[in-house]
Amino acid sequence: MTRSRPTTVGMGLACTVALWLTIVGAPGATAEPIEEASFVDPTATLVTPSRITLHDHVYVGPFAELRAERRSPIVIGEESNVQDNVRVEASASRGLRDRAAVSRLGLRISDGMQTGERVILAHGSSVRGPALLGVGEATAEDSGVFISFNAQVDGAIIERDSGLSALSRVGPGVRLRTGLIVLPGKNVTTQAEADDPALGKVRPITDADREFNAGVVEVNVGLAREYNRLQQDDPTAVYGINVDPGGNVFDVSRDAPTVESALCAGPEVRAPAFRNRLIGDVCFEDSLATLDAVLGSHISLRADEGGPFAVGTIERMHDHVVFHALEGSDLSLGNRIAYGQRTVVHGGGRPVLDPTTGVAAPTVVGNDVVFGDSAVAFRSLLRNGAVVGDRSAVVGSDLAVGQVIPPRTIYLNDEVFGPVEW
Amino acid sequence: MVMAALLAGCDSERAAALEAPVGFVVTFDDTEQPMTRSDGIAVVSWRTDWVMSWGEAAGAATYRARYGTTEGIPEQPRTQSLDVARLSIDAAAGTSVPERVEQDRAAGLLLTSSQLLVSVAAVAGDGAVGPYSAWFSVGDVTADGAPIPVRPADS
């Protein structure tokens, strides 16, 4: 892996033991300009920070967990990002058989978890070390690595220019080679499955994948820069319910969430002491007191690429839920919705035109919808009473009233694509 | 500094003379190769290019594409120079049993369109860049063969 040489500086992180984190380019602590600095959201958990190294331009999102150990480091390469609720364990416990497989791959406890440049750990994904991601010589043409929503790398090696789709997994002892992407929901447990697209678990990477990855890297480098700028301007603004950093192409201003009206007519709220991260132009129908009662913890509703997100009354939102969307691809959530643990709801223009606006129809979730644990919804219309089962994904689909997507199901284009195999 | 400002002013005037491309049409360019798996099962290795073309813009010598994502639009998006009013991008690929090829191709294109956005502009002979088009999802197409804009052209 190619890395710049890190320097060690102190950094006051709210949730860490008072140790030292090695971070390249911490703003204000070195001569490094803010444009090159990394940013760690104050809600991120860093265990044994003396064994964690972040290189330049790294963004670590809300409630990410980086769990290093004395013998097992974590190294995050330049221009990589660790998004909301990502879990990284440098050395995970596993059974004898899996330990042997990991060892045969050449991974050692002392490798911990290391990434090369431009490795993207998207919302809710996880890595169980030892594991190496982004292995190989970085070139301008390669796309790094993309680990999608709620996917998992477990005791594996992921070479550069590859990736995992949503809710997929690469298991112990497997090396995912350059040029291949694991399909949604697939569990790759043998080297043959990882190497041969004909076995139905991987596919070749495309130029569109490469352009996407490059774009995501740039966006997150921008987030690191702008969150650092926000923190510099107002250190309390990166906590709790607060403003987005603004400063990007489509979201120049710094907006705070509002309450008591999903139509954004209610009062603006800033509450740095609130336990969750509710960021930017998110409009809640519930009052602040109700949100306090119905929300679990480690929740990241992040409208920092724009907004607004219209959020109706919440029946119950369990821990580790993530919302994210691009401005213009509105995200609208109805009343009495129940969100399971680690639900990811991602806005995005649906693959149909809205005749009134002339652009893609927005992502809409109706009333009384239920999301199971680790469910994913993206670019879809979920009508009233629809249910997305545990560890299922709905993408680009239009669910009928009361339609139930069973647990562990990938549902794309209004049809079942396949099971989630783990 | 004054000269640079004047030159910049000239550039923006030249760019103002260019118009954003219009008349977008999407087609798909599919390639398929039959194969036999090691266990004897017949499969098809397939690949699909998403091809977007548009009408020639007055004054355009070339065109430029810029890429964004559903995770956000970079402050300085990656760009690609195009000699003609046409963008072709490798958007989905896989290996499937014959009866699954169409479903897998549609799923692959959907996943790409859930990720990658593109916008194009005309470029004058002197390098001035005109206004960009709307952002389109790469991989999507409407029933009448047009791309789907996810957000209008930049104001």
For A33, counting Cβ atoms within 10 Å of its Cβ (0-12 exposed, 13-18 middle, 19+ buried), the class is: exposed
Residue A4 lies inside a defined structural domain of this protein: no
Q: Is the pLDDT of residue A289 over 80?
A: yes
Is there a domain that residue A335 lies in? yes
- CATH code for position A258: 2.160.10
State the nearest Cα–Cα gap between A198 and chain B, in angstroms. Answer: 5
Whether A416 contacts chain B with CB within 8 A: no
pLDDT by residue (tens digit) across A91-109?
999 999 999 999 999 999 9
- CATH architecture label of B2-151: Sandwich (2.60)
pLDDT at B101: 96
Asked, for residue A76, whether it belongs to a domain, the answer is: yes
Dist CA A148 CA A126 (whole Å): 10
Q: What is the pLDDT of residue A24?
A: 58
Residues A94 and A143 occupy one common structural domain = yes
Domain housing A339: 239-419
pTM: 0.91
Q: Which of residues 125-154 of A touch B (CB under 8 A)?
A: none
What is the spatial distance between Cα A366 and Cα A269, in angstroms, rounded to a whole number? 25
Say if residues A183 and A203 touch (Cβ distance below 8 Å).
Answer: yes
Q: Are B89 and B50 in contact (CB under 8 A)?
A: yes
Q: Is A121 on the interface with B (CB under 8 A)?
A: no
Domain co-membership, A328 together with A205: no
Of B7-16, B77-86, B95-104, B117-126, the poorest mean pLDDT is in: B7-16
Contact A81, A118 (CB under 8 A): no
User: Is A72 part of any domain?
Assistant: yes
Q: Which amino acid is at A182?
A: V
Question: A8 pLDDT band (50/70/90 cuts)?
Answer: very low
Residue A227 lies in a domain: no
**Same domain membership, residue A150 and residue A249:** no
Cα(A419)–Cα(A407) distance, integer angstroms = 9
Q: Flag whether A318 is in a domain.
A: yes
Verify whether the Cβ–Cβ distance A208 to B115 is below 8 Å: yes
Exposed, middle or buried: residue A289 (CB in 10 Å: 0-12, 13-18, 19+)?
A: exposed
Domain count, chain A: 2
Give the pLDDT score at A37: 85
String of DSSP letters for A259-306: -S-TTS-S-B--BTT-SSEEEESEEESS-HHHHHHHB-SS-EEEETT-
Same structural domain, A180 and A300: no
The CATH code of the domain that includes A118 is 2.160.10.10
ipTM of the complex: 0.90
Decide if B75 and A212 are in contact by the 8 Å CB cutoff: no
Q: Where are the domains of chain B?
A: 2-151
Is A223 a domain residue? no
A219 vs B: CB within 8 A: yes
The reply to whether A301 and A163 lie within a common domain is no
Is the pLDDT at B155 greater than 90, yes or no?
no
Provide the pLDDT confidence category of residue B16 given band limits of 50, 70 and 90: low
Q: Please tell me whether residues A48 and A152 are part of one structural domain.
A: yes
Residue A285 in tokens = 């129908």
More confident residue, A250 or A305: A305
Asked if residue A261 and residue A312 are part of one domain, the reply reads yes
* A400 close to B (CB below 8 A): no
User: What is the distance of C-alpha A8 from the center of its chain?
Assistant: 27
Residue A206 has its nearest CB partner, among B70, B91, B150, at B91
A 290-319 residues with CB below 8 A of B? 305
The verdict on a CB contact (< 8 Å) between A248 and B72 is yes
User: Distances from the Cα of A360 to the Cαs of A219, A305, A328, B147, in angstroms?
Assistant: 22, 17, 9, 10
